[in-house]
Homo-oligomer: A and B are copies of this chain.
Amino acid sequence: MSTAVPAKHSDAASLVSNTIGEITRHIRAHELGPGDRLPSEAALSRQLSVSRTVVREAFSSLAAMRLIDLRVGRRATVAELDYGAMSLVIEHGVHTEQITVQQIYDVRRTIETRTAMLAALRRTADEVERIRTHALAMRENFQRPEQVMEHDLAFHLEIAKAAKNPVFSLIVGAFERVSRQTWPIGWRSRPSDAKQLEMIQIHIDLAEAIETGDPQSARDLMARHFDESVKALLAAGIA
């Protein structure tokens, strides 16, 4: 490489994006799965005739999308599915005013009425337990909004997981960062303790419907939950 000619070869795009392509191709070609190790930066640098700088930026980009994991001293490894990147994309869309909160609620309603239904059909005993625990913890801690929010988020994520389709988990997770920022608004927009407890009660009922294995009821409760939430948000002026 030090001796290599200026190269000129290959596709137009930048060296970094080519390198990203090469790395993903490597993963595919060798059928690597989560946890499997990739070549070292130096090795790739030699192999692809680019500087380590370029390889590093490629790795860095892949890590940003959570396709690989990087840790100092260790080789890069293939990552498990992770919604971190998607969550950042959605957050960015909201902050740059390309997406409204209401639009997110519409999508969530569409997705989560389905996950609620599927969860009622496919849940395991463990999952039911976790789902119910989160719902009850919401009521328990209802004086501490922060706690309620965490359990609320975990509740929805757990239902998605119980639906046994990782793509649903990915999407529900994608809204996490934004939800964390808009949740307090919705909470404050419920004018009384009674209204807040009412909202929490829907979660508890939903957990029960999933436990019972009643998909229709689970579906309806989830739909009602979102309808109520949107109403609350609109009342708070987040149109």
Of B95, B98, B166, the contact of A28 (CB 8 Å cutoff): B95
Interface secondary structure of A, over-half rule: helix
Give the bracket for the number of chain A residues in contact with chain B.
Answer: 35 or more
| Interface residues in A22-47 (C-beta closer than 8 Å to B) | 24, 27-28, 32-34
With a cutoff of 8 Å between Cβ atoms, the chain B residues found around residue A110 in the complex are: 110-111, 114
Q: Count copies of this chain in the complex.
A: 2
* CB–CB B81/A99 < 8 A: yes
* CB–CB A62/B64 < 8 A: yes
* CB–CB A81/B93 < 8 A: yes
* CB–CB A78/B60 < 8 A: no
Beyond the given A64-B64, A106-B167, A171-B171, could you list 10 further A-B residue pairs with CB under 8 A, ordered by the A residue number? A20-B64, A33-B97, A34-B98, A57-B60, A67-B89, A81-B93, A85-B89, A103-B165, A103-B167, A110-B110
Measuring CB to CB, which residues of chain A are less than 8 angstroms from any residue of chain B? 16, 20, 24, 27-28, 32-34, 53, 56-57, 60-67, 78, 80-82, 85-86, 88-93, 95-99, 103-104, 106-107, 110-111, 114, 165-168, 170-171, 174
